[in-house]
Amino acid sequence: MKKIIMLVSLMVIFALSGCSGNDAENTQTKKESETIKIGAIPDQNAADLNRSMEDFAKDLGKKTGLNVEYVPSVDYSALVTAFERGEIQLAWFGGLTGVQARSLVPEAEAFAQRPIDEKFKSVFIAQNDLDIDSLEDLKGKSFTFGSESSTSGHLMPRYFMMEAGINPDKDLDGAPNYSGSHDKTYKLVESGAFQTGALNISVWEAAVKEGKVDESKVKVFYTTPEYLDYNWTINKVDKETKEKIKDAILSMKAEDNEIMELLQTDKFIETNNENYKAIEKVAKELKIIK
């Protein structure tokens, strides 16, 4: 009888051990099969952005051991909505869209930015034959912003225009246009569709460097003071996953993936939610967010 009891006990122990091993294995398999979906505001040429972000997703996957997938967004607000719904776990936001997203998901955290995002600027451009050299000279001119949700293409340019005594909704030649992205803004001014516009300084400088803009037709006439802008924001994920993603992005170098070249940076540096309080304040003053 004792032998039988011992045999049964051993069988139970082996069975439990097997279950425990299987559970651990299943948990690890599940962890490895979870997909981290990332997104980015479509603030410039969609084909370039999509190709670069897909390359970034592959590199982030290799560095973290996670399955990482890039999901394109049709516009700025679509990315914020997807982030709120938990459909996007990691996003490259502008200052304003980051504030909007984190107000909807309080647990979300801005953790990385480029060095230039600590002192970012916008440029105001005009057709080359226009006699214009100050924001006050915008009065009576046709004008295009970028996306309505853009920090550098709308929020901060509107703020600086208001500071200069120009109300974009009353003092221009008609209502201001919203192009949707920075590259479309300079093309609209270059083509003559609008006399003036405002956009992200880094997109402008890249366009000039790469010969994508005809400087005989369009010029910069004003550069804004500095403000904080773009950032990587992570959604509600477990602590281990969050740390893996943070460490990987903060360790990236210029040669690691295409997004570094597209974003004109050789590294990312640490940031936090508090750094964007000024952006939030301006957005509330202009009634762009509540």
Nearest to 153 by CA among 139, 168, 164: 168
121-223: what CATH class?
alpha beta
Question: In this predicted model, what pLDDT tens digit does every residue of 144-177 receive, in sequence order?
Answer: 999 999 999 999 999 999 999 999 999 999 999 9
Question: What pLDDT is stored for residue 1 in this prediction?
Answer: 53
Domain locations in the chain?
Answer: 33-116+229-276, 121-223
Question: What pLDDT is stored for residue 20 in this prediction?
Answer: 47
| Residues 69, 29: Cα–Cα separation, whole Å | 18
Domain 33-116+229-276 carries which CATH code? Answer: 3.40.190.10
Question: What pLDDT is stored for residue 211 in this prediction?
Answer: 96
| Residues 234, 105: Cα–Cα separation, whole Å | 10
Question: Taking the alpha carbons of 46, 195, 175, 97 in that order, is the dihedral positive or negative?
Answer: positive
| Residue whose structure tokens are 């957005």 | 283
- Mean pLDDT value of segment 236-240: 95
End-to-end CA distance of the chain: 77
In this structure, are residues 149 and 181 in contact, taking their beta carbons and an 8 Å threshold? no
| Residues 192, 113: Cα–Cα separation, whole Å | 35
Residue 214 pLDDT exceeds 50: yes
Question: In this predicted model, what pLDDT tens digit does every residue of 44-101 receive, in sequence order?
Answer: 888 999 999 999 999 999 999 999 999 999 999 999 999 999 999 999 999 999 999 9
Residue 269 pLDDT exceeds 90: yes
Question: What pLDDT is stored for residue 33 in this prediction?
Answer: 52
Residue 11 pLDDT exceeds 60: no
